[in-house]
Every structure is written in C-alpha cells, then in structure tokens.
Structure 1
C-alpha cells in the first residue's frame, strides 16, 4: 500500500481494489467461463451441501457502512461458506491477532497477511498452515497460471520461510511502474516555475511557492511502523528505493552491489542534509512525524501540499483541494521525469512481481475447511472471481457496456471520489480483493490506469533510469529471530536520530553530530545486522 499515500486515498484505492505491480507474461484471464460453470454444477451435485463457518480476522483502514453484504451472499451461494469476521484497525490488527493465536483462539483464515506485520512470528510459532507445492498445483491451478515460470521461481524464493515452505499466497502486481511525481500545475504556471530536476532546484522552487502563497508545499504523515515514511517520498532522489524502510537492504541496480543497512551509513548523509533544509525552510509540515491522517487531510483540503510522488490520479488530488482552491490543477510531470542528485543514475520505483499481501490459513483446522477455502481462493483468482472482486455484482455496482464492465454512476471510482465503495457492499473489507490477493479484471487497468501503463512503457526506457532491486535473503529461523530483535532496536535508533537531524536538533553536516548517530547505531548492533543480512544475501544468491 503505500505508506506515502494518505489514509483517504488508500481507503479509496483498497476499497475500489486499485492494484499496483508487475504484469509480464501470462496476463490472459486465468480461467474460462466453462470453468465456473463446471464449479457451480459440482456445487449443485452436493459438494458443498454442508455449511461451514470459518473465523476470519481482517485488518481494515476505515469502518464501512455495509448497505448490502454481497460478499457474504456470494460465499453462501457458491461455496456454502459463512465467514465469521472480526475487524481491527491496521495499527491494532497484528497485536490483536497475535494475542488470539497465543491463547489458542486465532482466526482460521486471514485474507490479508503481511510479513512486516506479525506473519513471520506466526510462521515461526507454528500458527499458520503451509501451502505445499503439490497442493498448490492440484488445488490452485488458476493461481499458478497467473505467473510465468521465471516469475514464480523469483516469487517463491523471495516469500518462502526459513524452512523452505510458503505460508501465505503473495499477490501478483499488474503494472510494472505506476508511481511518479505530480504537482500543482496551476501554481507552477502562475509563478512561471518548472518542475525541479535536482534536490537543490526542489528547495528553491518550493521556497518560491511557499513565499508567494503561504502554503506548506509538502504534507504527509508518518505511520506506526516508522515516522520516516512521511519523507520516504524523497529517497529516490538520492538513489535509494522508496521502500527501503521496509527492505532495510537493497541492491544497487547499476553496480549490483549489496547494501545491508544504508540508512545508518555515510551513504545517507546527503539525503539527511536535504531533508534538514526542507524542514528548516518550512517546506515540510512541522509535525510530519506525529500527525494523524485526519490532520494531514485537513491541511491538504485547505490547499496545502503542491507536490506528490503518488499513484493517485490527478483528478483525485484535485478533488481533495477543490473547495479551498477552485482553480486547482494537478498534473503528472511531463515525461515522468524524476528529480535526482545524480544525472547518471536516476532511481524510479519499479514494482516487484508480487507483494506480501495474501491469504493465510491457520494450522490445525479441518481438511474439510481447508479444501473449501482452497476452492474459494481458486475461484477468486479466476476470470469470474477477478471480475466480481474488481467490479462487484452486475446490476448493483456495475453494468456491461459494449462488453466492458462499467461502474454505475452511484459508485466511487479511482477517478471519482464521491459515491459508494465496494466495501459498502461487503466486498474487499479485509483486503482479499484487489490490493490483496486478487488481480484486477482485465479491463480495469485499461480503463483507470492508462497513464500508469504508459509510465511502464516510458520510464524504464529512459537513459540512466534504473529500478531498484529488492534483495532475496535466506535466513535460518534462529537468525531471523535474532535479526528481528536487533533491527527493532536499531530501527528505533535510526528513527530517533533521523528525526533529530531533519528537525535541526542535530546537524547532519556536522561531523561530531554524525558521530553521535553512528556510535548509537553501533551500540544498537549495526555491525551484527550488517553481517546477518550480508550472509543471508550471499546464501540466497549462491544457492
């Protein structure tokens, strides 16, 4: 999801099922209409005569008023399944679900699991049931069809646990590149400004806008995992992946060099100097590290925020500010140029084949329930299932126009914020749909993401443009637990000192202040983290 988007935007994206990612081979629909017809015939012959109730734990962004629970009806009609769901906010969900597992009351099914939450703990503790490869081939053929052999090999190696098994089903991203810079073109045109090409130009341009308008040029909150998510937008300008707060390590796309923990190294110093200037010049909101999404959304609605690296459509950005700024006009940067401090190496966000968002099943539940869930998941990733989770129910949320599904005027869409969301019909509340396990239906990207598809053609072919490489690590269970403990401490030290540098409590250009940071990082186990990560990288890539 992304961390840099605002809660309102994320809610729209997830509830509408706006997905990100990579589409290479095998993007044709994964099943034919005859497949679903056969499944329904089988159901009518008694396969699902027995009603099964399955407990579900769902992580949600916002509570939705359900008008008509279409998903519950679909589960009952197609699979004679009843999902007994408990919903928690995303901030509370990992802790709440861990507590349930530890007391023996954990959910039987999780539609939306993430490794950077508690999933790794659950795998290690034996709470989750592995998906065996023979089982995937037999029970989930539609799932395997969405991957090429090369893609699946990479995905499996990247997402398997230390015992070599897969405990959740990663989803396939469908757009290789979809994140680029946008800006308030109305203000840039009014003051005859060009979108900046370098960090120094960024400071100069945004200072001009702030001085002339009184607006805060960049408004974005941190989040519970790290307050630095608010400023990770600017990582790519300095050659870092924007997801480095999640990855911690990365591989340089040009030199292929592995960097185990670069945000506690001299490599990150220029970035911190830039962020310090952004803050001290009033170009960042002052309380970015602690502000809530409601606070930032209020500032944006007042007209603040004039640049964004985002996946949202410009019309969505305009909708946030239209009341305060009737003439607002957001636009993608022409030719999708990125500001960079190195003209010989511009990092853009290249999506991986997959994301760590996928369903998981509790260890120890009955084989009958497992089989029913696998049948449901195999249908959900089929052509029919993708259509249902992308657009909902024909006649209620969408209609067919010239063979293309089209949302009804009453529905919110990626280009129309107002209206009912799919979540109002019980669809995708827990992230099983788009944005989670299920890909968008074949017409969705062509309808709503044409510019992002264009990005995927234009950006990778530009001279000196490189997509960062997410490293594959192979850790033993013991080393994983050890690394988790060390990084919890080290990440806390990193966040503490980075915030001091950004907010001018310390000076990142001052050697004595920088030494304080490095000494604190060393005491927090930096050297051991680097060794564990480097050894795990070498093991994974030499095996």
Structure 2
C-alpha cells in the first residue's frame, strides 16, 4: 500500500523535471490558488466489490458526494473485468490518454520513470508541493513513506494508496478447523511435524462425522502460498524474492526449498494435501470448504475466515475456523509470514495529456484531508457510517446488509473502503472490517511471524524492468510447472539440482543482482 514523496516547488512547467541535488527542486514563490476542475476523465479497473451492484464508479456514493463538494464531473472509464492489464497496455500504446489513470504503476513495463520520460504521465513532485497540501503534510510527517513513494530518479508518479499500520497490512495466514481439533482431542499444531500428525488425524478420524473418509486435511493453494508463505516460510524462505541480512535471494533455488518440496511430496502421497491442488481455483476452493470437507488452508481474514464462518455457521453451529501461527520447523521457532509493504506502487497518475494538471492535483488531494479521509474510507455520514463517541462507525446497513451483501460489497456502494485507490486506509475501518474476535485474534497471531525478510516495494530502471520481465516470465512458467511435478511425484526430488541449474540458465542470477541493486538504491534514498 502506499506513500508518496515530494520535493520543493520550481517555476518549471508541469511534468518537467526540476534541476536540483538528489532530485530536489529549487523553491519558488507561493503559487496562486487554483480551482477544482469542471470535469475530468478517469481510467480505472472495475473492482469486483463495485461490480457486484453497480456498472460504474459514477454510481458510488463517494464520487457522487465528491462532485457535490468540488463541482467536478468525472467520466469514469473501466476496462472489461479481468482484462485491465491488457487494456492498460493498449491504452498507453494508443496515446489517447484520459486525464487520470489509476493502476499499479510500479509494475508497468520499463517502470514509472520511463513512463514520465516518454510523456505518458507527469512527474508530480512540484505539482504536489504547490497544490496538494494534504498529501504534502502526510509525506512531511512520515519521511519513510516519502522514501518509498519516490523512484530512484527522485520522481513521484502517483497519488498513492497506502496504509501505515501493520494491523492493516497483515491479513492472510494459516487457518484450521478448531472444532475438528477439539473433536479429535488435538492441540493447535505449532511445528511442521505437529502439522503432519494433525493432518493425518484429520484424514483418518472422520471429524466431519459423515462416516466417509472424504476429508481434505490441507487445501493447498500455491497462489496463496506464494504471497502468504504458509508452510514454506517455516524454512526461512519464500517462494519468491526475499532478503537475508540485506542480501537478496530467490527462494525456489535455495536448498531449503528442496526440504519443503520433500515434505509436500510426502504429504501429497499420504493424502494429506488435496489431490486437486494443481488446478485449484476460487470456485472449487469455496465448494470444498462449504461442503464441510476442508480441515485447514491459508486464507484472508475477511474473504476467508469471515465469509466461511458466516456461510457455515447456520448449517454447522459448531463450526469454528481460527487463524493459527505460521508453522515453524522447531518448537519456538519463527516462520516468514505475510505482510504488505505500506506502498506497493498503486495509485492515480496524471497523464501528460491533461490540460489542467494543477486543478486535477487539487481534486485528488481532497481524499488526503480530514473530510476526504472520512469520505473515501467510510462513505456518506448517516448512510454508511455515523459518528459514535467521536469515531466513525459503520451502520447496520453495511455490517448486516438487508440484501445479504458482504461488508466489502455493501460499503463499496458508498466508499473506497474495501479496495485500493488514491487515499490513506483508516485503521479504524480495518478493525471494523474484521469485527469478530476470531478475526482480530487471527491478525494478531499472524503478525507474530517473521517479516524482516520481506522485500519492500522496489523501483527498477527502464532497462532493468525490461530485462527482468523477459527472464521472469519464463522462470515463473517453468517454476510453476516443476513445483507441481515435484509435489505430485511426476518428477523425482533428486532432480532438484537439475531444476535449479535450468533456472540459473534462464538468467535468475542476473535478476537477483538487479533486485539487489534496486534494494541498495532504496536504502540510500533520503
């Protein structure tokens, strides 16, 4: 999630890089006040929570109210659901750019610095300094956020989406059916060995009580594991890039990854892992969980613990799904866990085609002020929230929707509070999104994992980005194919060294060097 950085104001035209030491610009006279824009065009992917009840962001209460307050009419442009990345690339290639483009700019081909050089988007440093007092204050008060939002060339490229608190950024981890553990008279497993014994007991003990040996002890979702590190984190690595005392490493070629695969292969052979793991999708995952078949899996605190509990409780009153510690190799050990960086490169950029960038900056800055913060997080007072003891509190229409909408969809009718955008996520909202004690307990449990090895959001140069994308596309495809084969026994574990050699031939060493340079550049930013 996000942060931004700013430099001094210069007398240069919008988008022109100011000259100055370490990307800083020279000060100028105080700018004159500008008005909000009369209208603007805004390209953004349609969020699933919004799409559940609406066809456009124009229908959201947050933007209807924002139009009343600023007078700005917004023409939202949404690519087809699921096609936003392809449509984004086509949009940039066309040259016919809307005023604002919201996207994960840190991940674009050749990086955001190149997008500025090619006059796709504007450098925002001077514009923010001159016309965004709310965001400017946030960045001044938190230098670390400023450091993260800047590129290596000193550019600010988006109005960012970010969150400051660890409680907001930890939302995924291992969960298990505590009611099944109680039935089997088992404690919560803490180590990999204890997990193996527990999963075996679930396989053989008929905890769902239907007289059939149909339980899925562990529903293994490699996509979730890739970002959540459940089980693989026990080996002190991740399934991607991580840092070990400042040195960047790639988990899938480490000796510890072979140990992990060896255990997963044994669990698969013994029926402890779902046989369909290689083809797992959300629909199948949901069907197995709501079918009272799954003992454990990694999941989100909201669209996981919360949603499954609400779905299962009416039919199974004893259903008790709880977040549990990331398993360690030894008792008392630490495992690498999930935690997002405060800023992941997502936000609203202003295109170089925009005719009134100063006015657009002022409009975007509204979300970072006190009134905008409430609006973007909570929506409309009296409808989606009320003030209780001085704190914004979601109404029953949101928390217990009369049309049975989940909280994420109900609040999306009024605010950005359930998904990303150019604003700061409010900690109080995050807490209300996980209102149940078992959800808060899960987050607090997952927060105790090791996060020191996780990489921050890194910025690559144009050349680095192109080279890395070319190599990593092939590496990721080969990696996914081979991991499935190793776990399912289609490829012997003894072939691991050959697999590592193949990834090295694909250029992983150069990619690691690139990541290392990017990390060092980030650490040197001031």
TM-score, structure 2 as length reference: 0.78
Structure-2 residue corresponding to 1:9: none
Question: Conserved in 2, the CA contact under 8 Å of 1:157 and 1:472?
Answer: no
Structure-2 residue corresponding to 1:528: 510
Query: For 2:342, which of 346, 353, 360 is the aligned residue?
Result: 353
**Distance in 1, Cα, partners of 2:188 & 2:310:** 22
Structure-1 residue corresponding to 2:17: none
Structure-1 residue corresponding to 2:233: 236
Structure-1 residue corresponding to 2:262: 273
Structure-1 residue corresponding to 2:468: 483
1:200 aligns with 2:187: no
1:411 aligns with 2:401: no
**Distance in 2, Cα, partners of 1:459 & 1:144:** 33
Q: Deviations over 1:120-179 (max 9, x none)?
A: 556534364244333323322322433565x534x4444444533122233332431434
Classify the secondary structure of the residue corresponding to 2:230.
helix
Q: Deviations over 1:233-286 (max 9, x none)?
A: 323222135xx54xx2x222xxx1513323223232112222223333333333
Structure-2 residue corresponding to 1:382: 369
Structure-2 residue corresponding to 1:81: 72
Q: 1:474: how far off?
A: 6.0
Structure-1 residue corresponding to 2:277: 288
Question: Conserved in 1, the CA contact under 8 Å of 2:407 and 2:433?
Answer: no
1:61 aligns with 2:48: yes
Task: Count matched residues.
Answer: 473
TM-score, structure 1 as length reference: 0.75
Q: 1:318: how far off?
A: 1.0
**Distance in 1, Cα, partners of 2:523 & 2:91:** 37
Structure-2 residue corresponding to 1:7: none
Alignment of 1:380-529 (within 5 A): 380-412=367-399, 418=406, 421-422=409-410, 425=413, 427-428=415-416, 435-441=420-426, 443-445=428-430, 447-449=432-434, 467-470=452-455, 475-508=460-493, 510=494, 513-529=495-511
Q: CA distance change for structure 1 residues 92 and 233 in 2, over 3 Å: closer, same or farther?
A: farther
Alignment of 1:365-380 (within 5 A): 365-366=354-355, 368=356, 370-380=357-367
Alignment of 1:122-141 (within 5 A): 124-125=114-115, 126=118, 128-141=120-133
1:183 aligns with 2:165: no
**Distance in 1, Cα, partners of 2:183 & 2:41:** 58
Question: Conserved in 2, the CA contact under 8 Å of 1:219 and 1:304?
Answer: no
**Distance in 2, Cα, partners of 1:459 & 1:121:** 32
Classify the secondary structure of the residue corresponding to 2:216.
coil
**Distance in 2, Cα, partners of 1:273 & 1:413:** 46
Structure-1 residue corresponding to 2:210: none
- Say what the alpha-carbon RMSD is for the aligned residues: 3.6
Q: Deviations over 1:302-321 (max 9, x none)?
A: 12333344441544431132
Shift >6 Å, 4+ stretches: 450-460
**Distance in 1, Cα, partners of 2:146 & 2:2:** 17
Structure-1 residue corresponding to 2:202: 209
Q: Deviations over 1:9-54 (max 9, x none)?
A: xxxxxxxxxxx899xxxxxxxxxxxxxxxxxxxxxx9934x63131
Consecutive unaligned residues of structure 2, counting only runs of 5 or more, are 4-32, 207-213
Question: Conserved in 1, the CA contact under 8 Å of 2:377 and 2:415?
Answer: no
Question: Conserved in 2, the CA contact under 8 Å of 1:169 and 1:358?
Answer: yes
Query: For 1:99, which of 86, 90, 97 is the aligned residue?
Result: 90
Structure-1 residue corresponding to 2:16: none
Structure-1 residue corresponding to 2:161: 171
Classify the secondary structure of the residue corresponding to 2:396.
coil
Consecutive unaligned residues of structure 1, counting only runs of 5 or more, are 1-19, 23-44
Q: 1:298: how far off?
A: 1.8
**Distance in 2, Cα, partners of 1:454 & 1:331:** 8
1:320 aligns with 2:307: no
**Distance in 1, Cα, partners of 2:412 & 2:161:** 23
Classify the secondary structure of the residue corresponding to 1:85.
strand
Question: Conserved in 1, the CA contact under 8 Å of 2:384 and 2:398?
Answer: yes
